[in-house]
Every structure is written in C-alpha cells, then in structure tokens.
A = this chain, B = another copy of it.
C-alpha cells in the first residue's frame, strides 16, 4: 500500500470533483451544451484574474501563452525589458530572441527580487521599450516580485506590462486591472488545480493597441482569432474540451471559497513551511522575497539533494521538487499551491524529517512539524 502526496510547484493535486468530471463521456465543443460551460468558465477566469478585460483560453502549456504574449504584442526589431532571475525569466528572453525582438535584461541574482526602481530607471533611459516582461513567482527560485509597484511605474509609460503568472495566479494576490497588468499569462496546473494542457491570457485595452501594430507572424496563438471566436462563445480551434469542463468545476470551487480565503490559506501554509525549515535548522534560498506558493530551501552541507528528493518520492510517495538548472542538487523546492491544505504540509514536512534523519542530518526529530503546527494553531 502506498499513498502519494504531490507537493510540487506544478502539477498540483486535482480535487476529486474536478477529476471526476474528466472521466465523464465527452461532449462536442460546437454545441450549446459546451458553450454554456465555456461561457461560465470565462466568467470564473475573470474573477480569478481580477479583470474585466478579455481573457482567452488556449490549448497549450503556459509557455505557449508566453509565446502568444510576445508575438501578439511585438514586432521584430522592437525592444523589451526582461527581468531575469531564474529559469522562467530567461524564457522571456529566449522567446524574444526567437522572434528577432531585442531585449534589455535586468539580471537579478537568483533568490532575489527585482527592485521596481531599477525598472523605472531602465524605462527612463530607453523610451523605446515597448513591453516589460516579468515573472510573478519565479518557480525555479521561489521568489515573488512586487507587481503592484512595477505596474504603477509601467502605467505612465508607453510600454505594456506582461506578467508570467503561470505560477501564482489563484494562489496569491494579483489584481490584473487594479495593478495595471496589461497581459497576464497563466496555466492550468498550478493555482487553478487542473492538469496541465490549458493556458489563460488576459489582454488590456493598452495591450490591444500594441496588438494592432504587431508584425510577428502568428496563427494558432493569434489574439485576433481568439477574440473573434470568443465573441460568439467559441474558440478558434478545437479546445481541450475535458480540461475546459474541469476548469469550470475548479473555478466553481474557487468562487465558493473566495479569493481572499484562498490567498490566506496559501499565506498560512507558506508561513508554516518556512517556520518548519527554520525549526529544522535549514536555510531558505530566498529569505527576502519568498513566494507563498513554493519554498526554496538550501540543501544542507553533506546531504545529497537529488537523493533526498528521490528517496522522498520513490520510497515514501511524497513528491517535492529538486533544483533546476544552476540550482540542481543545491536546493529543494517544497510547494504549497492549489488543492493543498494544512495536513498535506504536515505530512510533507514529516517525510522530509524522516529522510533527512536517515541521511544523517542532525536535528531534533519533530522540530519541523512542531514549528509548522505552531503557525497553523495560532
């Protein structure tokens, strides 16, 4: 007998009522039956995005929607400002490069958040910058940025603010309209509690002006095609029907809970996880800008970080994530995002303690769980 616990920053666990609808007989997408679901899902997405602007559903992973943002807003030869402080920030640069778009890069040390003032300085120095591309939660490092402050700065320029909120949306606060986010990109397998396969993207009026000027080639990811189809409650191409039906169920749950409560739950889980790591004598990788969706922790000296993750997963059924790219083996990432609650965190920390103890790390057994409980029980 083995029970599995998924504590990774995407995919995140699927609620049973969402999983259930995916096993129902499929329906055709060009029917009033599906259109009613699509319509309701878009209303739900606007609630989660905190926007009254257009939100489109794309059948792709989140990267597809990042590409959609770049190719619909920009033209070859344009200049963007990219904040890079991890694997996903780098993806913005790679995407721009693939389309002949110049990038000014703010290279933030991994584990640190960008200073909004640095963005302001760069925008003033180069008024040609057409878009600022940032990452809400840099999953590779566990860092979150101050989108609200950045939004105020970008708002008064000609540039649009594009936020990769694949990780974070629906788990931590992101007020698309109020914070002046022009294009917000998200994916299904994180805060939205679905399998991967769908991406979502919002487009502000300021962004639509850029779309009108954009000369990058596009077809499958065209905003104009998405808009035209959405106007008659349709998608331009066959959508991932099952995932859209699941999306609608997940959004119903989220509307019932209320965003405020969801954000509080994530905050509490993050605080408890951080307290637990401290209780175990472990050091956070991003102490000053830690996100509430995933906690990055430095692997202590003498411990094999890859083996730690592998043993937790393959021997005990608890899947957390290891480090990516330059952080491989140096950190582990303990996620608390989506359909996760207090006792999942306790279980995950307990398993971490078990394997750390087996690997010879010195600490007082139970210290992590105790510290977490102290946060959960105030």
Chain A residues within CB distance 8 Å of chain B: 4, 6, 8, 10-11, 13-14, 19-20, 22-29, 31-32, 59-64, 67, 76, 94-95, 98-100, 187, 189, 195-197, 216-222, 237-243, 313-314, 319, 321
Contacts and interface: CB of A to CB of B under 8 A. Distances in A.
A25 B18 CA distance: 11
Contact of A241 (B11, B26, B32, B64): B11
Contacts of A76: 217
Contacts of A222: 98
Contact of A25 (B8, B19, B189, B219): B19
Contacts of A196: 29, 59, 238-242
Nearest to A99: B217
Contacts of A28: 6, 8, 11, 319, 321
A13 B22 CA distance: 13
B11 A220 contact: no
Given A22-B23, A220-B63, A319 B31 contact: yes
A140 B189 CA distance: 34
A229 to B, nearest CB: 12
B59 A238 contact: no
List 4 tightest A-B contacts by C-beta distance, closest first.
A197-B240, A23-B23, A195-B242, A63-B237
A101 to B, nearest CB: 10
A27 B6 contact: yes
A99 B243 CA distance: 30
Given A98-B222, A187-B238, 8 more contacts: A26-B189, A27-B319, A61-B237, A195-B242, A196-B240, A197-B239, A197-B240, A240-B243
A146 to B, nearest CB: 27
A225 to B, nearest CB: 10
A197 B19 CA distance: 16
5 contacts: A11-B238, A11-B241, A28-B321, A61-B238, A197-B243
B197 A242 contact: yes
Contacts of A29: 11, 196
A217 B26 contact: no
Contact of A60 (B8, B13, B60): B60
B59 A59 contact: yes
A243 to B, nearest CB: 6
Contacts of A319: 27-28, 31
Contacts of A19: 22-25
A238 B10 contact: yes
Contacts of A4: 25, 27
Nearest to A63: B237
A60 B63 contact: no
Nearest to A242: B195
A28 B8 CA distance: 8
Given A61-B237, A220-B60, A220-B63, A242 B13 contact: no
